[in-house]
Amino acid sequence: MPVESQYLTDIDLQSVCYICDHMREQDRREIYATQPHDNPYRLGWEAYHQIRNMGRGRIAWHKGRPVALGAFCEDYPTVWQVIMFGTDEFKAGAVHLLKWFRREAADILSTQHANRLYCNSHIEHTEAHKMIVALGAQPEGPPMRRFGKDGSSFQRFVWFPDTNAAVLRPDYVRPKEAAA
């Protein structure tokens, strides 16, 4: 059994709802700013069914509990949204989830012939921005002002198959000037 399978599982409704109910504060602020409600169980149900019907996802586990969810959903043909959030224990499951993310993102951009992957992130969620950029995404345009129902701004990040997908490949080596 691969080590990863001890830490990642396919999504299930109970785990998704658990993560939504125990979400870390910054993720909660970001996600509910773009939802018509603030109900963790409704969010869990909606996320679970969206991922099951239109994408693929994984749950990361730590000490017997689900701690993070990562997913891709095809909004419409060739355009995929990236979804990732978790509990306060997010970092404990992040390594395995991010390895899975890299493989799946590369597959979606190549095998599935996606034109873009994108995610919208709250302008103040700087920890997420660092992770998204480390995974090869680029900010697209200026921040989207007043994008959240609370008036908050968001930044859209994108991956394109012809410009910034190289970092997702397993053989990628960061250029020396970027690594310094």
CA dihedral 124, 75, 38, 17 (to 10 degrees): -110
pLDDT-derived band at 1 (thresholds 50, 70, 90) equals: very low
Whether the pLDDT of residue 18 is over 70: the answer is yes
Q: How many CA atoms lie within 13 A of 94 on its CB side?
A: 14
φ, ψ dihedrals at 54, nearest 5°? -130, 15
Is the pLDDT higher at 110 or at 139?
139
Question: Using only C-alpha atoms, what is the Rg of the chain?
Answer: 16
Q: Token pair for residue 104?
A: 């799946």
pLDDT tens by residue, 99-115: 999 999 999 998 899 99
Instruction: Tell the burial category of 61 from Cβ atoms under 10 Å away from its Cβ (0-12, 13-18, 19+).
Output: buried
Domains detected in the chain: 4-179 (3.40.630.30)
- The predicted model scores a pTM of 0.88
Q: What is the mean pLDDT of the chain?
A: 91
